[in-house]
Amino acid sequence: MSKNKKKKIDTKTARSINKNIRSSTRKLKPILKSIVGKKVDIVIRDLTFSDKRISKEIKKTISSAVSNAENNFQYDIDKLIVKEAYCGKQMVMKRFRPRAKGRAAPILKPYSNLTIILSEKKKVENHGTKS
């Protein structure tokens, strides 16, 4: 019953992947949700004035994706939008904190992957209005 469905990959999207970001996915996701669908220049401006520590890493990844779009696909920078932005888990460094009576408490230091996918905004044609 199941057919082999090949996923169509859009080759005209510029992307940038940042591996080993020293932050958890729980802290990255709210920032990434806020930038999806916005223009790139607005996103970079918002991240510049963000008070989150990890916003510098996200801004660096977006800048890399913009330069990929410009150099590899000859996209116009003014028309670029953030199509997708997602993160995934990477390794977790495990440390311990000494506690009383010879015990130890774990310290988990998570890392994350970050993927930014940009596309060029298409002009939508209006087909008239209903009246």
Is there a contact between 28 and 54 (Cβ–Cβ < 8 Å)?
yes
Q: Would you list the domain boundaries of the chain?
A: 15-120
pTM of the model: 0.79
| Residue of 114, 83, 88, 86 whose CA lies nearest to 9 | 83
Q: Which tens digits make up the pLDDT trace of 55-106?
A: 999 999 999 999 999 998 888 888 899 999 999 999 999 999 999 999 999 9
What pLDDT is attached to residue 13?
86
Confidence of residue 34 (pLDDT cuts 50, 70, 90): very high
- pLDDT, position 128: 67
Q: Find the DSSP H helices in the chain.
A: 25-35, 40-48, 55-73
Query: What is the C-alpha separation between 121 and 49, in angstroms, rounded?
Result: 25
**CATH architecture under which domain 15-120 falls:** Alpha-Beta Complex (3.90)
